[in-house]
Structure formats: structure tokens, C-alpha cells
């Protein structure tokens, strides 16, 4: 018997024995493991609801096309968001508890750039489903156009200014978003069949009602461009800019009259962008940012504030501008009152006022949406609007999300299909304590890696199967199959011991009652 | 096992074997055959694995198995290896697979004889700490304080677990090592190292037994890991009976034994005093081991 069966390439069974695989032990089972994704902290915090662990897994295996397919379900412009998004996703990364959180934005950027370099635009030859007009070419309008175009609609985007991109082109400084990334994304969209009409202001050059007649549906994403005013004496001077005018003048290459030193008033992201942009201008040596509340109350992104400070922007807190001081029609300085927040709101102490010399003032007091557009819209049309126009000034990813939501809502209305699910289902987030890192076979302490694939390989894949193979290694019944590099449970032989569920480092398996 | 190297072709164990859900012994043999295969012959004494390997015409392993009487594993292994050598098949690895009963109690004399003769095969003991196959009767591998079928409540196993590694070290065999299922890489390294050495080699594998220990079937790996981290079952290897070496860099601060014991129903009625006694024993064994090990860890 021994000599007969001693190794052939395949066992020959001439001894009369057969593999025990004929014995389907799966029917012993009374509990069944099941693969089920759970919510990761990054996805919970992602402004776009992106499936981050899933595309991390694809990048880890260098399956870039798959990664792009997954990313683009929720975010059609990963290259842009990789640069401009404040990546709240990485704030609560579970890996941070171990060594250092994943640089999610860098991997996202890499996917976006891979797509721009490697995927050719595909124009659909026939577009029969319908025509949709989009007002505003900002991130919301662009993302809506992307999803509608992909679904087979003909999309025309109307832009008020001569530059396509809205806030991406005019509001965001070049140091935060390289212009060639934006222009390549725009070219891509155009080559895929989206039409752009520049310098056409709906309401002035073209009537909104006419748009409704021309198109099957219209999406309004005009953004929030109307600046808030400070209502202080001297505000009308030509060297008092509002932040968006100032930023768009720089971004569109206009000449700006500006003299040193510069004071920026406000504590939001537009204020930081203005201050950092001003510091980059020729002849400007000193920029100070004055905010009426304390540093902790600043709405601006913390990383940006730190970057501004590193670059040399002076920060002044608890100061409210009272008056712009002038001498012979030129600005000499700004008079501030001390103020602070207490239980009654903002309390001003006029006895502690001070003056600060300056040549230029930039007001970044926030923006509002201009709603005059809606004045003569008839009440019987379905109004789709999104982005800053609806939410007030927010961020690029939130606008992209609004565009996606609008696109799917428009599709569901035009096609009469059920409304899409727009919110992630409420479920508990996978915590660091839940992750079974003792079994993670290849977790090593390591810090941020240089290539995207290596960085992605640090992802613990919270709540998502990331093909680590732990279930395969620890299954006493060999009831885990490897199919195309992915691990699948083979319930024919699973006895339901639950080792895989208990040991899964990513919490991607659950035990269910019954077979 | 590195993720990239995982594949089903190198596995020697078939699905559909007769082990209980969550069986540590099935996992142990899976890692063992995978590390030593495919040119492998297994001599199997009476133990759980006599059942797990399947009833003819089914077999759970891709290699030949020779079943033998309970006390004779050591001598049958010697005979098989010599027979293979005589027929020119000396490259076949012979593994004698025995449970703790077939090693610590009933098989001890044959194994001792084979070790003394330095027979050229690997003796693997998968230790589930009692005669689990016949109904959880006490063996000399059962740890102090455990309840078994022959020591039911309010009785408990009174003596200490036999220190089989010291016995084997005293035989001066070329290689002896401990391993457990929670550390498959470590087990594989030791088995591969053992395969390269000729002479009598002994591997002691702790394999948790869910029905016998009274644990959840999903806790197998967890318990195996706790056994190591509490110092109850340290992982080490012994070369030529003299060079003792730890194989995982264990932290000085070990987890309390209580954590390991309280997860098992066989220790349920164990009171604090007895737990403290067992902890003391484990601490003592640990200190003795630390005196023996060489300071520099393996490779």
C-alpha cells in the first residue's frame, strides 16, 4: 500500500482510497459564516461616502482599473479631490492607533492621475435618453454632468464667466490645485461629450424658463458667490477686496492693485486661501489675518491654518474691525475693537481698541447664494439644485456629492425609476479594538510609504475583506477557496466552527444562525 | 504563510475529514503535511486522527497512512523508515503522528527506545491534553486542575503535566521543538528545519480541543495564542538536548494564566488557590526554561 501511493503528481488512488471531499461536512453546520462589509471610519467620515477600503484593496494589488471603477462610483474626480479635499477620512483612521493613519488622499490622487494618463475618453455615439442643462460649471455641475453623461444623457453646461470650473478655477489657489489637473479633467469631460458654453449668464444673457423648455431637465448649481459685507466706514475703497473677487482675479491672471501690508479679515478657508495667495504676490512682505473669535473657533481647516502660519501669515484673534482709516484717499490702517465670545454671543469691548497699519484689506466674511435666479421660475417645473447654492459655502467634495445625488435624482425622475438610496445605512463603525490585529499575519509597524501601492498595503481594511488570507490559513476544514486572488467560503465543507469570524482581522465576516 | 504564497495545491489535507468543528489537531496536521509534503509517509497510532483521517474508502490526506497499535508508534515508525531505506526510497519523510496518550503514556517506551536508537524520522505529538477520542479521560499530559471524565467534579487532575520536552532533551536527540496552531509560520519553520536534520526529531504541538476543553469552537486559535502569551506553553526548540532557544520573542510581561484558564469549562470549578498554584508552577517552569535558553534568539 505504501509504495503504491508514494507520490505521483496527482494521487492515483490505485490503493482503492478516495479523497474525503466526497464527504460533504457542510451539513454538520448549524451556524454559517458570511462575508459582510461593515462601515469603516474613513467611509463614515468621507464627504463623498466613498468606498475607501475597497479601492485601497484594489490599489494594493495594483489593479488600477478596478480601483478607478470603484472610486468613480462616488467620486468622478479623484485627482481633484486628492489635491483639494481636506481628507476628513484620514482623521479617524484606525491605523493611526497603531502607528500612523493612511495617507488616503495621496492614494486617491494616484488613482486620479492614473486614470488621466491611462484611460482614453470614450464618446458614446448615440445619446437617446434625453437632454439635460446644467447651470454652473463648478464641482457640483461637473459631477452631475459626468454621471448624466455616463448614463447616456446629452449634457450642456452653462458658465457665467469665461473660465470653466467655477470655484475650482477661480476660488481655489493654484498652489492647492495645479491647473493642468483641472484642465485635463475638463478636456476629458468634453471629449466624452459634455458641452460647455462659457460666458453665458443664465438670468442675464439667457432666460432660465427658456432653458426649461429646451431641456428635459435642468440642474442648478450656481454656487454661492455673493459676498457678505462688513458694514464699516471706508469699505467702498478700491483697495478693499472681497476674498472671492481677489482670488478669482489672481486665478484668471488679472492685474491687482495691492500694496503692503495686507490685512485679511475672516477665519474661514477663503480667508486662509486669500492670505496665502496674497503672500505669494510680488511686493507683499507682510500679511496678517484677523479673526473676531479665538483660534479654536476658526472654521478653517486646521492643516491649512498651520500651513499659513508656517509661511509667515500673522494671526490676530479676538478683534473686530470698526473702521478703515484713510489719509488723503489712501488706506492707512484698520481700527479694531477687542471682542470675544461668551454666553451672550459676541461681546465687544470698545475700550480695548487698537489700530493696525495696512495698505490693502481683503474681506473674507463668507458668501451667500444669489437667489435672484429663481424669481421667474414657474412652479410646475421640477427644480433640481445642489452644491453651494443650496448648502451655502461648503467644500468641493460636498459639491461633488450633491452633483452625483442630483444626477441620480434626475435620472430617476426622467426614467420613472425608483429614487436612488442616497444615504449610507446607519450602522456602527468598526473600531480599532474590534480589529483582530493579533492575527493580521503581515501587520508590521511602519510609517507612510512612498508608492501608492505600498501605502495602500498598510490599510487594515476595516470592515472590508482585503484578501489577507487569515480565514484560509486558520480554517481546519480547508473550506476557504481562493478564486482570482479573493477568498470565498466554501459552504459545502464548512462545519461552522467560527474560527474565521473570530480571527478575521478586518471584521468582514459575521456568523449567522442556521445553514 | 505569506499571503502571496497561499494556494490550495500545496495543501495535503482534503476537506470533508471527520474532525469536530474548530479542531486544533486537524489544523496542526494540515500545517504539518503542508510543510513536509508531498513526499511523506505517516504512521498513525490510535488517536483522534485515526478517526479524522476517514473511514475507507475515504482518506483525508494526500499521503499514505499506516495505522498501528497504540503502544507501538515509535517502533512502527522505525520499521517503516528502515524499510523505505532498504527499498531505496530514503528521501521519503516519515512522520509518526501520535496524540498525547500515544506519546506521554502508552507510547512512551517505544518512543524512548526509538529516540535512544536515534531512528531517522519525525515524531509529532499533537497534544490535546487528554484521551479526547475515547471520551476525555485524564492522561499524563492533562494539566493540573482540569476536570476530565475520569476526574469529574468535585475531583480534578491532581498531578502536574508531564514535561515531555525535558524527557526528550534528556535523550539527546538532534532536534526537539514545541509549536502550536496559532503560529503556523513558526510551526512550518520548525518542521522544515527538522526535515533537514537526520536522526530522531520530536515536535510537540499544542492543539486545543473545543469539546474536550469545553470551549467555543471559534476560540481554538485564540486559546492557542493565550497559551503561548501566558507562558503556559512557551515556543522553543532544543538542539542535541543542550542548546535551548526561544523561537518567538516573548515579552517579559506575560498575560495572567487566569485569562487562559477562565475561557475553558474544564477549569470552571478551579478556585483561586488552585489557580494561584498553577500560576506558580507555570512561573517556576518559565524561570527554569529561561535559565536554559541561550540568550540569542534563533537566526
- Residue ranges of domains in chain A, CATH in brackets: 2-37+466-513 (3.30.70.20), 41-119+430-456 (1.10.1060.10), 131-225+377-415 (3.50.50.60), 228-367 (3.50.50.60)
Q: Is the CB of residue B175 less than 8 Å from the CB of residue B202? A: yes
Distance CA A160, CA B224 (A): 68
Q: Do A2 and B80 touch (CB under 8 A)?
A: yes
Number of H helices and E strands in chain A, helices first, is 18, 20
- From residue A61, alpha-carbon distances to A105, A313, A485 in Å are 18, 43, 9
Q: Do B64 and A6 touch (CB under 8 A)?
A: yes
pLDDT of B2 > 60? The answer is: no
- Check residue A80 and give its pLDDT: 93
Name the closest residue on chain A to residue B25, using Cα atoms. A476
Instruction: For residue B1, give how far its alpha carbon lies from the nearest alpha carbon of chain A (Å).
Output: 8
pLDDT digits (tens, 9 = 90+) for A303-313: 889 999 999 99
When CB atoms are compared, the residue of A16, A20, A492 closest to B54 is: A20
Between these two residues, B175 and B5, which has the higher pLDDT value? B175
Name the closest residue on chain B to residue A496, using Cα atoms. B21
pLDDT of B257 > 60? The answer is: yes
- From residue A12, alpha-carbon distances to A5, A9, B38, B81 in Å are 7, 9, 14, 23
The CATH code of domain B9-292 reads 3.40.50.970
Chain B residues within an 8 Å CB radius of A441: 1-3, 185
Judged by CB atoms within 8 Å, which residues 10-39 of B form the interface with A? 11, 13-24, 26-27, 30, 38-39
Name the closest residue on chain A to residue B27, using Cα atoms. A476
Count CB neighbours of B274 within 10 A: 15
Name the closest residue on chain B to residue A478, using Cα atoms. B15
Q: Do B56 and A16 touch (CB under 8 A)?
A: yes
Any CB–CB contact under 8 A between B208 and chain A?
no
Radius of gyration, alpha carbons of chain A? 29
Instruction: For residue A16, give how far its alpha carbon lies from the nearest alpha carbon of chain B (Å).
Output: 6
Any CB–CB contact under 8 A between B135 and chain A?
no
Q: Do B7 and A482 touch (CB under 8 A)?
A: yes
Mean pLDDT over A446-452 rounds to 75
Q: Do B6 and A469 touch (CB under 8 A)?
A: yes
What mean pLDDT value characterizes chain B? 90
Q: pLDDT above 90 covers what percent of chain A?
A: 33
Instruction: For residue B186, give how far its alpha carbon lies from the nearest alpha carbon of chain A (Å).
Output: 12
Q: Is the CB of residue A501 less than 8 Å from the CB of residue A511? A: yes
Distance CA A287, CA A279 (A): 6
Q: Do B15 and A499 touch (CB under 8 A)?
A: no
Any CB–CB contact under 8 A between B222 and chain A?
yes
Size of interface A-B (CB pairs under 8 A): 144
- Check residue A8 and give its pLDDT: 44
When CB atoms are compared, the residue of A2, A16, A476 closest to B26 is: A476
- Check residue B138 and give its pLDDT: 94
Q: Is the CB of residue A427 less than 8 Å from the CB of residue A510? A: no
Tell the residue number behind the cell numbers 468598526, with chain if given.
A430
Q: Which helix (H) or strand (E) holds B36?
A: helix B24-36
Distance CA A400, CA B275 (A): 61
Q: Is the CB of residue A267 less than 8 Å from the CB of residue A299? A: yes
Chain B residues within an 8 Å CB radius of A453: none
- Check residue B171 and give its pLDDT: 95
Give how far the C-alpha of residue A51 lies from the chain's centroid of Cα atoms, to the nearest Å: 12
Give how far the C-alpha of residue A417 lies from the chain's centroid of Cα atoms, to the nearest Å: 27
Mean pLDDT over B27-41 rounds to 92
Least confident of A181-195, A448-462, B58-72: A448-462
pLDDT digits (tens, 9 = 90+) for A45-89: 999 988 899 999 889 888 899 999 999 999 999 999 999 998 899
Q: Do A20 and B80 touch (CB under 8 A)?
A: no
Instruction: For residue B23, give how far its alpha carbon lies from the nearest alpha carbon of chain A (Å).
Output: 6
Instruction: For residue A509, give how far its alpha carbon lies from the nearest alpha carbon of chain B (Å).
Output: 13
Name the closest residue on chain B to residue A5, using Cα atoms. B64
Instruction: For residue B241, give how far its alpha carbon lies from the nearest alpha carbon of chain A (Å).
Output: 32
Domain spans, chain B: 9-292
Instruction: For residue A18, give how far its alpha carbon lies from the nearest alpha carbon of chain B (Å).
Output: 5
Q: Across-strand partners of A489?
A: A480
Chain B residues within an 8 Å CB radius of A476: 19, 21-24, 26-27, 30, 220
pLDDT digits (tens, 9 = 90+) for A367-426: 888 887 776 666 667 788 898 888 888 889 999 999 999 999 999 988 888 877 777 778
Distance CA A75, CA A476 (A): 41
When CB atoms are compared, the residue of B14, B66, B87 closest to A478 is: B14
Substitution target in B20, B21, B63, B90 with the highest count of A β-carbons within 10 Å is B21
Between these two residues, A81 and A12, which has the higher pLDDT value? A81
- Check residue A344 and give its pLDDT: 77
> What is the sign, positive or negative, of the torsion defined by CA atoms of A360, A364, A369, A371?
negative
Name the closest residue on chain B to residue A511, using Cα atoms. B218
Instruction: For residue A197, give how far its alpha carbon lies from the nearest alpha carbon of chain B (Å).
Output: 52
Any CB–CB contact under 8 A between B225 and chain A?
yes
- From residue B82, alpha-carbon distances to A296, B88, B264 in Å are 81, 10, 43
pLDDT digits (tens, 9 = 90+) for A85-131: 988 998 889 888 888 888 999 999 999 999 999 988 887 666 678 88
pLDDT of A11 > 60? The answer is: no
Chain A residues within an 8 Å CB radius of B39: 6-7
Q: Is the CB of residue A321 less than 8 Å from the CB of residue A232? A: yes
Output b/e per residue, A468-496; b: 16+ Cβ within 10 A: bbbbbbbbbbbbbeeeeeebebebbbbbb
Judged by CB atoms within 8 Å, which residues 45-84 of B form the interface with A? 54, 56-60, 62-64, 66, 80, 84
Amino acid at each position: 500500500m505504501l509504495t503504491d501511493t508514494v507520490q505521483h503528481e496527482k494521487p492515483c488512488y490505485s490503493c482503492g482510497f478516495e479523497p474525503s471531499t466526497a464527504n460533504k461536512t457542510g451539513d454538520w453546520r448549524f451556524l454559517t459564516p458570511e462575508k459582510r462589509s461593515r462601515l469603516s471610519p474613513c467611509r463614515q467620515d468621507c464627504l463623498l461616502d466613498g468606498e475607501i477600503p475597497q479601492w485601497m484593496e484594489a490599489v494594493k494589488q495594483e489593479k488600477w482599473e478596478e480601483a478607478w471603477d470603484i472610486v468613480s462610483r462616488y467620486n468622478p474626480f479623484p485627482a481633484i479631490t486628492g489635491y483639494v479635499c481636506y481628507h476628513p477620512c484620514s482623521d479617524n483612521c484606525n491605523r493611526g492607533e497603531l502607528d500612523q493613519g493612511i495617507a488616503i488622499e495621496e492614494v486617491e490622487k494616484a488613482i486620479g492621475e492614473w486614470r488621466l494618463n491611462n484611460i482614453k475618453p470614450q464618446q458614446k455615439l448615440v445619446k437617446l435618453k434625453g437632454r439635460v442643462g446644467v447651470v454652473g460649471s463648478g464641482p457640483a455641475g461637473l459631477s452631475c454632468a459626468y454621471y448624466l453623461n455616463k448614463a447616456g444623457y446629452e449634457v450642456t453646461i452653462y458658465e457665467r464667466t469665461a473660465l470653466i470650473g467655477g470655484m475650482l478655477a477661480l476660488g481655489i489657489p493654484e498652489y492647492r490645485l495645479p491647473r493642468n489637473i483641472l484642465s485635463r479633467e475638463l478636456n476629458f469631460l468634453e471629449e466624452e461629450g459634455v458641452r460647455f458654453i462659457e460666458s453665458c449668464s443664465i438670468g442675464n444673457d439667457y432666460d432660465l424658463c427658456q432653458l426649461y423648455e429646451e431641456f428635459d431637465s435642468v440642474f442648478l448649481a450656481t454656487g454661492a458667490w455673493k459676498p457678505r459685507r462688513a458694514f464699516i466706514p471706508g469699505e467702498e475703497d478700491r483697495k478693499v477686496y472681497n476674498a472671492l473677487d481677489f482670488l478669482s482675479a489672481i486665478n484668471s491672471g488679472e492685474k491687482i492693485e495691492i500694496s503692503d501690508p495686507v490685512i485679511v479679515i475672516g477665519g474661514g478657508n477663503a480667508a486662509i486661501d486669500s492670505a496665502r495667495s496674497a503672500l505669494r504676490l510680488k511686493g507683499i512682505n507682510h500679511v496678517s489675518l484677523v479673526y473676531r473669535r479665538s483660534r479654536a473657533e476658526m472654521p478653517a481647516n486646521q492643516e491649512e491654518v498651520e500651513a499659513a502660519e508656517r509661511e509667515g501669515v500673522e494671526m490676530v484673534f479676538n478683534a473686530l474691525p470698526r473702521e478703515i482709516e484713510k489719509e488723503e484717499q489712501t488706506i492707512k490702517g484698520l481700527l479694531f475693537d477687542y471682542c470675544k465670545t461668551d454666553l451672550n454671543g459676541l461681546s465687544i469691548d470698545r475700550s480695548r481698541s487698537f489700530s493696525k497699519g495696512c495698505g490693502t484689506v481683503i474681506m473674507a466674511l463668507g458668501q451667500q447664494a444669489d437667489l435672484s435666479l429663481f424669481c421667474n421660475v414657474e412652479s410646475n417645473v421640477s427644480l433640481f439644485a445642489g452644491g453651494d447654492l443650496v448648502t451655502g459655502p461648503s467644500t468641493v467634495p460636498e459639491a461633488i456629492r450633491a452633483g452625483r445625488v442630483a444626477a441620480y435624482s434626475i435620472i430617476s425622475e426622467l426614467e420613472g425609476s425608483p429614487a436612488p438610496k442616497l444615504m449610507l445605512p446607519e450602522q456602527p463603525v468598526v473600531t480599532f479594538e474590534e480589529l483582530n490585529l493579533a492575527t493580521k499575519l503581515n501587520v508590521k509597524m511602519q510609517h507612510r510609504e512612498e508608492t501608492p501601492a505600498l501605502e495602500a498595503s498598510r490599510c487594515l481594511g476595516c470592515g472590508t475583506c482585503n484578501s489577507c488570507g487569515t480565514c484560509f490559513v486558520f480554517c481546519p476544514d480547508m473550506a476557504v477557496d481562493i478564486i482570482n486572488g479573493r477568498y470565498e467560503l466554501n459552504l459545502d465543507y464548512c462545519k461552522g466552527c467560527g474560527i474565521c469570524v473570530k480571527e478575521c482581522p478586518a471584521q468582514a465576516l459575521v456568523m449567522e444562525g442556521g445553514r | 504563510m505569506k499571503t502571496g504564497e497561499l494556494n490550495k495545491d500545496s495543501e495535503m489535507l482534503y476537506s470533508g475529514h471527520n474532525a469536530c468543528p474548530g479542531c486544533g489537531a486537524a489544523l496542526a496536521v494540515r500545517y504539518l503535511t503542508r510543510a513536509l509534503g508531498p513526499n511523506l509517509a505517516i504512521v498513525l497510532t490510535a488517536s483522534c486522527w485515526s478517526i479524522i483521517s476517514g473511514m475507507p474508502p475515504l482518506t483525508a490526506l494526500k499521503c499514505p497512512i499506516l495505522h498501528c497499535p497504540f503502544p507501538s508508534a515509535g517502533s512502527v515508525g522505525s520499521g517503516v523508515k528502515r524499510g523505505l531505506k532498504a527499498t531505496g526510497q530514503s528521501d521519503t519523510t516519515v512522520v509518526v503522528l501520535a496524540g498525547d496518550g500515544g506519546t506521554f503514556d502508552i507510547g512512551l517506551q517505544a518512543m524512548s527506545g526509538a529516540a535512544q536508537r536515534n531512528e531517522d524520522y519525525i515524531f509529532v505529538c499533537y497534544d490535546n491534553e487528554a484521551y479526547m477520542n475515547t471520551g476525555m479521560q485524564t492522561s499524563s499530559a492533562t494539566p493540573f486542575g482540569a476536570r476530565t471524565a475520569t476526574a469529574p467534579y468535585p475531583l480534578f487532575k491532581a498531578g502536574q503535566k508531564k514535561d515531555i520536552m525535558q524527557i526528550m532533551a534528556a535523550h539527546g536527540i538532534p532536534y526537539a521543538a514545541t509549536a502550536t496552531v496559532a503560529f503556523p509560520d513558526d510551526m512550518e519553520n520548525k518542521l522544515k528545519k527538522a526535515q533537514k536534520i537526520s536522526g530522531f526529531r520530536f515536535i510537540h504541538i499544542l492543539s486545543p480541543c473545543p469539546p474536550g476543553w469545553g470551549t467555543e469552537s471559534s476560540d481554538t486559535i485564540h486559546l492557542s495564542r493565550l497559551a503561548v502569551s501566558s507562558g503556559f506553553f512557551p515556543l522553543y526548540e532544543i538542539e542535541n538536548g543542550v542548546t535551548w532557544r526561544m523561537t518567538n520573542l516573548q515579552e517579559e510581561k506575560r498575560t495572567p494564566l487566569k485569562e487562559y484558564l477562565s475561557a475553558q469549562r474544564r477549569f470552571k470549578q478551579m478556585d483561586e488557590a488552585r489557580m494561584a498554584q498553577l500560576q506558580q508552577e507555570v512561573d517556576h517552569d518559565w524561570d527554569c526554561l529561561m535559565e536554559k535558553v541561550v540568550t540569542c534568539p534563533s537566526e
